[in-house]
Amino acid sequence: MRKKIAIFVLIGWVLLIIGDRVDELRVYQGAQMAMYTIALASIVLLTGYSGQVSLGNGAMMAVGGYGAALTLNNLGTPIWFAFLMAIVTASLFGALLGAAAARVSGPYLAGTTLALAVGLPAIANQFAFLGGEPGLLFDVGFPPERFGDEFTQYKWFFWIACFIALIAIFVTSNILSSRFGRTWRAIRGNSLAAELCGVHSARMKVLAFTVSSGLAGLAGAVLAMTISLVAPGAYGLALSFALVTGAVLAGISSLPGVVLGAFILVVIPEISVALADRLGDADKLNNYLPGLIVSVLLILSVIFTPNGPGENLRKHRHKKPAH
CB of 112 vs other proteins, minimal distance in Å: 6
Do 308 and 253 form a contact (C-beta atoms < 8 A)? yes
278: left (phi over 0), alpha (psi -120 to 50) or beta: alpha
Q: Which of 84, 95, 99, 199 binds other proteins (CB under 8 A)?
A: 99
The sign one gets for the Cα dihedral 214, 215, 221, 223 is negative
CB of 279 vs other proteins, minimal distance in Å: 10
Q: Which of 7, 16, 75, 299 binds other proteins (CB under 8 A)?
A: 299
Binding segment toward other proteins, per CB under 8 A, in 18-26, 167-175, 263-271, 281-289: 281-289
DSSP states of 153-190: HHHHHHHHHHHHHHHHHHHHHHHHTSHHHHHHHHHHH-
Q: How far is CA 110 from CA 47, 107, 163, in A?
A: 11, 5, 31
41 is a site residue for other proteins (CB under 8 A) = no
287 is a site residue for other proteins (CB under 8 A) = yes
111 is a site residue for other proteins (CB under 8 A) = yes
Do 215 and 45 form a contact (C-beta atoms < 8 A)? yes
Q: Which amino acid is at 279?
A: L
39 is a site residue for other proteins (CB under 8 A) = no
Binding-residue pattern over the window 152 to 191 for other proteins, x denoting contact by CB under 8 A: ---------------------------------x--x---
Q: How far is CA 172 from CA 136, 161, 167, 181, in A?
A: 29, 16, 8, 10
Q: How much of the chain is in helix, strand and coil states, percent to nearest 5?
A: 80, 0, 20
Q: Which of 71, 172, 212, 245 binds other proteins (CB under 8 A)?
A: 245
92 is a site residue for other proteins (CB under 8 A) = no
Q: Which of 13, 80, 147, 288 binds other proteins (CB under 8 A)?
A: 288
Q: Which residues bind other proteins (CB under 8 A)?
A: 47-49, 51-53, 55, 97, 99-101, 103-108, 110-112, 114-116, 118-119, 122-123, 125-126, 185, 188, 237, 241, 244-245, 248, 252-253, 284-285, 287-289, 291-292, 294-296, 298-299, 302-304, 306-308, 311, 321, 323
